[in-house]
Amino acid sequence: MKKPDKVLDLRGEPCPEPQIEILKALEQLKEGQVLEIITDDEPLQTSVPELCKSKGYPCEVQREGQTSFRIRIMKTRPK
């Protein structure tokens, strides 16, 4: 996936704040742009890909060290 157009560092943010911020950021992106999320909220590594699948957005999750994750989402045309 290409280099991110926007990066959200959501480490330390309590639920549901990360999900709200991710949805807001995706709304602002144009088709073909990539959002990168840095988080230490382990449930996001499964909930974000599920959200992306429902919207048809490609998504990659990478573990960074012991407690952080990097999630990249490409905004595509809605289904």
- Catalytically active residues are 15
Cβ atoms of 73 and 46 within 8 Å: the answer is no
What values do phi and psi take at 59, rounded to 5? -145, 140
Contact 68, 37 (CB under 8 A): no
Residue 64: strand pairing partners: 68
